[in-house]
Amino acid sequence: MRATGVASLSDDSGLVVDALGGEPGIYSARWGGPERDFAMAMRNVEEKLEAAGATTPDKRSAKFVAVLCLARPSGKTHLFRGEVAGTIVWPPRGTLGFGYDPIFLPEGQDRTFGEMMSLEKHAWKPGQPTALSHRARAFQKFARDALGVE
């Protein structure tokens, strides 16, 4: 926004694992190393959960969090946060999505994000209060609050 003088939108997201004190959080991509190897990152999460004694579903709670920031030329910024709660599963299930999707089982679902088509995660349907994914939820708030779109 400072470089262009035009309102700008940015986002960041991460996986927050309760038994790991919120890690990897905003450093989620870094857990995959310089190559962004998410198979390695998922193994790191699993190994740390096992070391912490978090081996049963009730001890493996997690959430995906996404935050959008709208920066306006006036200097005002607006944040839009989306979250989806779930559980870490092992071994990974599914090859769809990216990042930690194969080990994240959203609450109330029987398939991981890695087993869901993108449209299933990100689409909002009439009669449904919100989309399933954290990123879609953040964008819904942005659309409603910043753009006035319902």
pLDDT average, residue stretch 63-72:
96
CA distance 8 to 38: 29
Q: Please say if the pLDDT value at position 130 is more than 90.
A: no
pLDDT of amino acid 145: 86
pTM for this model (two decimals): 0.90
Residue appearing with tokens 């753009």? 147
pLDDT average, residue stretch 55-76:
96
Question: Hey, what CATH topology would domain 8-145 get?
Answer: Maf protein (3.90.950)
Q: Please say if the pLDDT value at position 17 is more than 70.
A: yes
Q: Which of 12, 18, 37, 110 is the catalytic position?
A: 12
Q: Please say if the pLDDT value at position 68 is more than 70.
A: yes
Let me know if 12 is a catalytic residue: yes
